[in-house]
């Protein structure tokens, strides 16, 4: 009898460990009409460290600002590591916003690339990133245009994945956004700051936002816009709107 009671208790505890959290104030009447929360955005970073091994340690402990993590890390050789389950909230984005999303960690998948911030990204690494983006956007139903850099959501605070990141190559593979080469000039009266906001960029610090935009689409850090920028922004705003949360 004692053995049977012990086995029953173990089985009950095991069942409870997999049960969803329940509010003790309410009577539980389960509905089948639910599924897992899904991210709507993918954020690309670089590690700015010396090796994938060092970054794996950092992403499981912390840096000088406290605990940090990401869902995935891709080594320079293309090796793919997963550190946090897709449906869980990783601590990779920090303060910032994109469109109407103010808590980016809760709405995104974070991908770290093993890169020191000054070197070109290896072909094997970008090939692995493109394969991962194809998996994530398909499996989690994230729009393929909703791939941004850390610098996009946090202008003035973050610069990764930096001016050497191949955004055009990603766009040619179907991810993120890139202007059409034959896009016409912007029409008279076109508002570039409004276009930046429509793309998703925060405008708390317009000069910093312009630098982040220029780094991604022009490969420099200028904080002013010229006619070519207006042409690019006009072309980009013809893509689908930014995600809402």
Instruction: Note if 172 is an active site residue.
Output: no
Q: β-strand 80-82 against 72-74: which pairing, if any?
A: antiparallel
Q: Which of 112, 172, 188, 228 is catalytic?
A: 112
Residues identified as active-site: 112
């Amino acid at each position: 009898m004692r053995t049977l009671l012990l086995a029953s208790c173990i089985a009950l505890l095991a069942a409870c460990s997999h049960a969803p959290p329940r509010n003790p104030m309410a009577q539980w009447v389960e509905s089948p009409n639910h599924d897992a929360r899904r991210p709507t955005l993918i954020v690309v970073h670089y590690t700015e460290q010396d090796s994938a091994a060092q970054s794996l340690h950092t992403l499981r402990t912390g840096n000088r600002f406290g605990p940090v993590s990401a869902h995935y890390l891709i080594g320079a050789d293309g090796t793919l590591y997963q550190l946090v389950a897709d449906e869980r909230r990783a601590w990779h984005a920090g303060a910032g916003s994109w469109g109407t999303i103010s808590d980016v960690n809760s709405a995104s998948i974070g991908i770290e690339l093993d890169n020191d911030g000054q070197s070109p990204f290896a072909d094997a690494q970008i090939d692995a990133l493109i394969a991962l983006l194809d998996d994530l956007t398909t499996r989690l139903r994230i729009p393929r245009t909703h791939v941004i850099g850390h610098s996009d959501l946090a202008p003035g605070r973050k610069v990764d994945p930096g001016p050497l990141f191949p955004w055009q190559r990603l766009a040619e593979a179907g991810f993120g956004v890139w202007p059409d080469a034959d896009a016409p000039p912007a029409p008279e009266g076109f508002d570039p700051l409004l276009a930046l906001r429509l793309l998703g960029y925060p405008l708390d610090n317009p000069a910093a936002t312009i630098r982040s935009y220029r780094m991604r689409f022009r490969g420099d850090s200028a904080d002013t816009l010229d006619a070519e920028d207006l042409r690019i922004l006009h072309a980009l705003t013809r893509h689908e709107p930014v995600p809402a949360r």
